[in-house]
Structure 1
Amino acid sequence: MKIAIVSYSFTGNNDKFAASLASELPATHIRITTQKPFAMKSIVLDMIFSRTPKVHPHPDSLQQYDLILFVAPVWMGNVASPVRAYLHALQSKRQAYGLLSISGGADGENPKLMAELLKRTGASPAIVLDQHIKDYITLDSPPTRQDTSAYKISDTDAVRLSENAIKEIKKLIAPV
């Protein structure tokens, strides 16, 4: 099975997670880049107006893969806007896909994430694993958005995230 790990990361955390995951699986790691650099204002406007930025590589470059695993943050309860072009492309391709994420989590779970993935692709994901930075921070009080936004995952964190993800991925790709 040919697997692509397609990552977008604003802070570097999801790219580190994706690189660790790709090294543990027989998978190709593809990094998404945006045509213009992102700022927090762009992120908020993309989420409010459901905008999709121009990205590289082109989503059609993923046709050769049997399973596409997106590794990207969740912003305001939705998948990061640079991933949207790829999700839209899946509507006509009907490839198996999943979303793996490490995002803040200071505001709790992301209950509308599954519905958004289904709406954008027309198909249910094979896997969704939404892991949170708040679970990696040890503070005397619950972490805030500021705390989780500033946190950079360590190599050890990336391995732990990958191990959690690989347990779930192996259920998908194990021979029947």
Structure 2
Amino acid sequence: MSEPRVLVVFFSRTGTTRRLAGALAGMMSADIEEICDFTERRGALGYLRCVIDSWRKRPAEIVPAGLDPSQYDLVLVGTPVWAGAVSAPVRAYLLQNRSRFRHVGFFCIFGGLGAGTAFDEMRALAGKAPVAQCKVRASQVQRGVRTTALESFAGVLERHLAHYAALEWSC
């Protein structure tokens, strides 16, 4: 019986989601991959593009993934919340890979409202319910606070993986 493989995939415009994804990957001993898109998103004009893409529910044109999610038992997908929605690059990733996920988990960084709506959208885009999800305020990550939400999320994921491994071994 081999150890379950975990992949953390994320998009980060400002670096906040990147910090959280790195912490989560360390906690889960996971591989990590950043989603990169071809749209300029820096500065005020880039921020405006993010909002417009969210309102229109438009996926971004992204760089092809280097890691194949079908090779992982669990894929954890992270996004910033843009105008109450999932980011356009994560929307594209989920649409492109929805048939390759065995199990998924979602995490998001948010400043105000919309985390619940973003999770609903991620669930629909992935075509399956997550084993767990976690929302963290951007201000907590920026202050370097290791949140109890992230620790609880990792604990739920570890229990899921242990259960999954036991089922796979017994078959």
TM-score w.r.t. structure 1 length? 0.77
Corresponding residue of 1:165: 153
How big is each residue's C-alpha offset from its partner over 1:117-156, in whole Å with a ceiling of 9 and x where there is no partner? 232122112211112236x4xxxxxxxxxxxxxxx614x4
Letter in 2 for 1:100: F
TM-score w.r.t. structure 2 length? 0.79
Which residues of structure 2 form unaligned runs of 5+?
167-171
Alignment of 1:46-125 (within 5 A): 46-58=53-65, 61-104=68-111, 106-107=112-113, 110-125=115-130
Corresponding residue of 1:153: 142
Task: Summarize the Cα distance change of 1:52–1:16 in structure 2 as closer, same or farther, 3 Å threshold.
Answer: same
Q: Distance in 1 between matches of 2:150 and 2:61?
A: 28
Which residues of structure 1 form unaligned runs of 5+?
137-151
Residues 37, 89 of structure 2: 8 Å contact kept: yes
Cα deviation, residue 83, structure 1: 0.5
CA RMSD of aligned residues (A): 2.3
Give the match's secondary structure for 2:136.
strand
Corresponding residue of 1:145: none
Q: Distance in 2 between matches of 1:17 and 1:60?
A: 20
Task: Summarize the Cα distance change of 1:89–1:3 in structure 2 as closer, same or farther, 3 Å threshold.
Answer: same
Cα deviation, residue 165, structure 1: 2.8
